[in-house]
Chain A
Amino acid sequence: MKKFTIFFTSVLLFFNTSFAAEYSSNPKNFVSELVGDVIEKLSDKNLSEEEKSKFIEYVALNNVDISALGLYTLGELRKTSDKKDIKLYQQAFEKYFLKSLTSRLSDYSSSEFEVTEADKKSSNYTIIKSKITPKNGNPEVKIDWRIYTKNPDKPLIRDLIVEGLSLARTQKEEFSSILNSNNNDLSVLISKLEEFVKN
C-alpha cells in the first residue's frame, strides 16, 4: 500500500510538473488563464505544500522572464560586471526568486481574480490590468502585469505592479542598497541571496 501511495504521488507530481497547461499567446488571456490556474492549484486541499511549490516553480520558469528580471534588478552593475559573476548572480537570483514567489503567491490563494483591461504600450510591452478580491472581505487589490511580447507567440511576465508599486523596482532598489554599502561587490549580494534560499 505504501509503495502504491509513493508511486501514485510520483505520478501526480510528474503530471503536475510535466504536463501543466500551456497558456494563450494573447496577453490578456495569458494572465487570466495563468492566474486562474495558480489560484486553483494553491487552494486545492488535495495537493501538498511541496506539490504546490513545484507547480509554482514550473509555471514561473516557463512564464516569467526571470533572466531579464535578474539583469534589471542588478541595475547599472550589469554593464560593468564580469560575465562569470553575472552568471553566478543569475543562478542565485533564480533560486531566490522562485522561493520568494512561492511565499508571496500563497497570500493570494483565497481570492477572486479578474482581468479588467489590456493596454498595449509598444510591440514589446502590454500592461494587463487586473484586480484581486480577497474572500475575507478585505479591500480589492489592483495588480498590473508588465507582459513582454517581443515573441508574440510566447508572452512573458516581467513585472507585477501592485497598487502602483513595482515589485521589480522595489527589488532593484533593495539590491542597489546592499551593493552600495558593500563597494558594489556582487559576491556579497550573491551570498545574501544564497543565504535567503538556505533559510
Chain B
Amino acid sequence: MNLKKIATILTFLLVLNVSFNKLGATEECFEGVSRSVFKFNMAFDAMLLEPVAKGYNKLPKPIQKGTSNFTSNIATLLSIPNNLLQGNLKQFAHSTGSFFINTTVGVLGFMNPAEKMGLKPHKEDVGQTLGTYGIGSGCYFVLPILGPTTLRDSIGLVADTFVDPFAHVTIRENELLSASGNSLDYYSVKTVDAVDFRAENILTFDSLEKNSIDLYSSMKSIYLQSREREIKNSSEDMEDWDLNN
C-alpha cells in the first residue's frame, strides 16, 4: 500500500471521527422511515424467519449444534483481520488457532474442539474496529431484512466484504489456499447464520415482544448496548444510577 492510499484512509477515518462523534448514539437518522422498515421486518419475521427458526429448533440438537459451529467457524475468518486491525494479538491468536483447529480436527468446523482447548475468539467486524479507533456510532436507522444499524456500522458492513477472506473467495470468486466458491455460498451461510441466531433467541424475542410498550425503541436500545459491549469486549454495566443527579 503506498503513502497516498494510507493518507486517504487516515483522512477518511478523521472525517468519520469528527462527523460521527457529533451525532449522539441515540439520535435517529430518519425515524419515520426506520419505523416503517421495522414494521416490514417484523412482518417478514412473522411470515418467514420465525416459522423457519421454529422448524430449525425441531431438528436434532447435534445437527443444530453442528450448524451453529459451522457458521461461527466461518465468521471467525472476519474476526482474524479485524483483530489485527485492532492490534489485539491475543484475540488474533485465539481466532486463528480456533479457525485452523476447528476446520481440520473439527471436520470443517462442524465440531468445536478449539473451545475445549481454551480458545474463545470474540466475533469482530469492521464496525467494531472503527469503534475501537474512537469513531462514534453516528445516527441510528433500520435496514430492510438486515435490521438495526448505525452510520458507522453500515459503512462497516460494506467494508466487511472487502476484509473478510470468506467474502473474497465467494462474492469475488478469488481462489485462496485452493478454496473457491461463489455468491450463493456466501448468502447461504449468512442466511443459515440468521436462522440459527433467530432460533436460539425465540424465547427472548417472544418475551420482548410481549413485554414492550414500544418494541422499536427496545430493539434500538438492545442493539446499541450490544454494539457498545462488543466494542469494549466487556459486559460491565457503566450506567450512572445516581438518582440525586
Per DSSP, chain B at the interface is helix
Task: State whether the Cβ of A168 lies closer than 8 Å to any Cβ in chain B.
Answer: yes
Most A C-beta atoms less than 10 A away, residue of B200, B229, B235 = B235
Query: A103 and B207: CB pair below 8 A?
Result: yes
- The interface stretch among B7-15, B154-162, B211-219 is B211-219
With contact pairs A137-B61, A177-B214, A178-B213 given, residues A166 and B243 touching in the complex (Cβ less than 8 Å)? no
**CA A161 to CA B239, docked complex, whole Å:** 11
Most A C-beta atoms less than 10 A away, residue of B203, B204, B225, B237 = B237
Chain A residue contacts of B221, Cβ below 8 A: 169-170, 173-174
Q: Indicate the size class of the contact surface on chain A.
A: 35 or more
Total number of B residues with any Cβ neighbor in A under 8 Å:
26
Query: A169 and B235: CB pair below 8 A?
Result: no
Task: List A89-147 residues whose CB lies under 8 Å from chain B.
Answer: 96, 100, 103-104, 107, 125, 127, 137-139, 142, 144, 146
Closest A residue to B61 by beta carbon equals A137
Task: State whether the Cβ of A192 lies closer than 8 Å to any Cβ in chain B.
Answer: yes
Task: State whether the Cβ of A60 lies closer than 8 Å to any Cβ in chain B.
Answer: no
Chain A residue contacts of B241, Cβ below 8 A: 68, 72, 125, 146, 158-159
Quote the shortest CB–CB distance from B103 to chain A (angstroms).
Answer: 22
Task: State whether the Cβ of B90 lies closer than 8 Å to any Cβ in chain A.
Answer: no
Quote the shortest CB–CB distance from B221 to chain A (angstroms).
Answer: 4
A sample of 13 cross-chain residue pairs with beta-carbon separation below 8 angstroms, ordered by A number, consists of A68-B243, A71-B243, A104-B211, A107-B203, A137-B61, A159-B237, A163-B235, A164-B225, A169-B221, A170-B218, A173-B217, A177-B214, A192-B213
